[in-house]
Amino acid sequence: MASLDWDKLQKLAEDAGFSTEDLAPGPYTARIASTNYKDGAKPRFGIRFVVVGGPSDGKSQWDNINVPDGSGEKAAAIAFYFLEKMKKLGVPVGSDPATAIKAAEGKVFNITVSLGKPKQTGGHWVQVAIGDEVGGIKDAVATLAAAPVPAPAPVDVAALQAQLAAAQ
């Protein structure tokens, strides 16, 4: 029987950008690296954020956004929250969900990670609050990288020598 190399699997996942541990609670700037949509009894969107910059650079965090079913005491508030989150992500409402969520990929947002309800297996569920989109990061980086470095201003050596002589 073949043995299972847990360390190898963890390294494989981490090298591909999947964190094996949740991010610590706090604020981050993160890019949406991938998305998915799961249909069924409890449909939901999955979003994988990857931190950009700072000590957690490159670490990822999944967030699931459950699709409200329109029932229950707080149905209207939950529907409003869901639609606002989709709008913030730039997801076109009214189109095929599996295709629509792809519109969010590559965008960069300020996010806040917090601990949610306790899990039955230990630990807590992680909640990701999506803040403002960080606009133009790709464009700004491309512009800076392509910008020519300006030549230094010409130096008048004779004038500097005269100032130095006058100061002595």
Average pLDDT of span 38-58: 89
pLDDT at 38: 92
Phi, psi of 13 (to 5 degrees): -65, -45
Q: Which residues contact 133 (CB under 8 A, 6 or more apart)?
A: 88, 90, 107, 108, 109
pLDDT at 31: 93
Average pLDDT of span 38-59: 89
| 139 φψ region: left (φ > 0), alpha (ψ -120 to 50), beta (else) | alpha
Q: How confident is the model at residue 4 (pLDDT cuts 50, 70, 90)?
A: confident
Q: How confident is the model at residue 106 (pLDDT cuts 50, 70, 90)?
A: very high
pLDDT at 16: 65
Q: What's the one-letter identity of residue 82?
A: F
